[in-house]
Amino acid sequence: MVKMKETYICSNCKAESPQWKGQCPNCKEWNTLELATVKKTNSFIKKAIKSNKVIVLHEASFDNHANFGCGLEALDKILGNGFVPGSAILVGGEPGIGKSTLLLQLAGAVASGKYIENNVCIKTQEPHTVLYASGEESLPQIKARAERLEVLHDNLLAIATNRVQDIVDIIETASPDLLIVDSVQTLSSDMAEGLAGNVSQVKACATELVDACKKNNTTLILVGHVTKDGDLAGPRLLEHLVDTVISLEGDRKQVFRLLRVLKNRFGPNQELIVFQMKQKGLEVVEDPSTFFLGARDSSLSGTAIVMAVDGQKPFAVEIQALVTKTYLSIPRRTGLGFDVNRLHLLLAVLEKRLRLNFGQVDIYAKVGGGMRLQEPGLDLALVAAVLSSFYDIPLPERAVFWGEVDLNGQIRPVSAHGIRLNQATKLGYAPIFCPLEEKSPFYVKTIAELQQKLFRK
């Protein structure tokens, strides 16, 4: 309950007095103090507010704090309605994956105020000032790439430096709306010792940049290097310091890139955007549901379609398997695009529950399109592809699969079942093989039932 106290308030100047007096100590008027009951304020709160460093939260102002678009509607949605002034975004990815290209595209779109899709301006917004700071490339290199991407604009500024103080000085004097730093591992600070890229330098540089951007309502995008395992390099503090963590993934030999949101304080988490590398940069794949199928020939055995889900995006991916006679004393088992231990486990289940003998065959399996899947929902499609190649019988042309196979050969439910089912129905896939779920007209309970429906008619 709110604590109340009695005090005396002057009817003339509204000054407070703990006790009644004939004369107001503030305005010197006589007989103006009147008894009143007010909320009791903590003395700590009074001192804190007088320090001018804190305010009552509901009095916080949103002036100059309106979000602005990044130039890609798909990215705006997952960031939480565009860029938030004063926020910090960390972008990671392998060398050559397209981080600098994508960020320079965003910089040009924000500077010009245009939303570009498939090289066509679909709508506009108010232009904003953008500063592109690079510690890896010279200004002529940045300009050459910007000319190729056709993003040069008067509002797009650039600086090539390895000193974080140079960038902080520009933030404090010019207050750009968007700052892109490529990359934080190439910067050094006078506040830390050692070479650029070590733990203390990364901490100091990131902290100085985030503090300066928050004070000046500048949106900050930091590019971070990754280790050979694909994790963000540097201290874990870097991920805690920022508001959003984005990873750009994919194979440099493939045309597609996956932008995955790993952390997000302003929007949905674990979201995914599929990009396609084109001559003028990365373009959003508007409908990735069938993008990874390519030119698929459904008349061949050993191929199955899985309705996979990454974040909340469903897309169809081809699972391929090849079962062939071996000439080795120990049969070979190879898997690409998924954990090969999953293949070993499923083959053991098939041998035990379906009485099959894989001791005289090599088995190879892969995920088509260069994708990499980690979810358990691909188990059923992998089993169907292996059985199809083993019997050398193609699966139904529009069949689709998803479900986890346990050690007893039962098909278990997986996450986002409704999303998968809706997308499969929308794309016209039938028959649909999936775990037993309420309101689901298609299901299989065990791998023995799957074998009976597909290969024992």
Q: Quote the CA–CA distance of 233 and 202 in Å, as a whole number.
A: 10
Q: Closest Cα to residue 215, out of 168, 181, 182, 183?
A: 168
The residues of the chain that CATH labels 3.40.50.300 are: 73-284
φ/ψ of 89, rounded to 5, equals: -125, 130
278 is in an annotated binding site: no
DSSP 203-214: HHHHHHHHHHHH
Residues 186-225: tens digit of each pLDDT: 999 988 888 888 889 999 999 999 999 999 999 999 999 8
Which helix (H) or strand (E) segment is 10 a member of? Answer: strand 4-10
Q: Which residues pair with 281 in a beta bridge?
A: 278
The per-residue pLDDT for 457 is 55
92 is in an annotated binding site: no
Cis ω on the peptide bond leading into residue 235 (within 30° of 0)?
Answer: no
- Count the residues in the chain: 457
The per-residue pLDDT for 1 is 47
97 is in an annotated binding site: yes
DSSP 256-307: EEEEEEEEESSS-SS-EEEEEEETTEEEE-S-TTTTTT-S--TTSTTEEEEE
Q: Closest Cα to residue 381, out of 302, 328, 445?
A: 302
Which parts of the chain register pLDDT below 50? 1
Q: Quote the CA–CA distance of 404 and 39 in Å, as a whole number.
A: 60
The top-level CATH class assigned to 73-284 is alpha beta
Q: Quote the CA–CA distance of 232 and 344 in Å, as a whole number.
A: 31
95 is in an annotated binding site: yes
Q: Quote the CA–CA distance of 321 and 393 in Å, as a whole number.
A: 12
The top-level CATH class assigned to 303-455 is alpha beta
94 is in an annotated binding site: yes
* Residue whose tokens read 């990215």: 75
β-pairing, 4-10 with 256-264? unpaired
Residues 363-399: tens digit of each pLDDT: 999 998 778 888 899 999 999 999 999 999 999 988 9
Using DSSP's 3-state secondary structure scheme, residue 219 falls into strand
φ/ψ of 40, rounded to 5, equals: -85, 120
Q: How many CB atoms lie within 10 A of CB 150?
A: 13
- pTM value is 0.75
DSSP 320-331: EEEEEE--SSS-
The per-residue pLDDT for 426 is 85
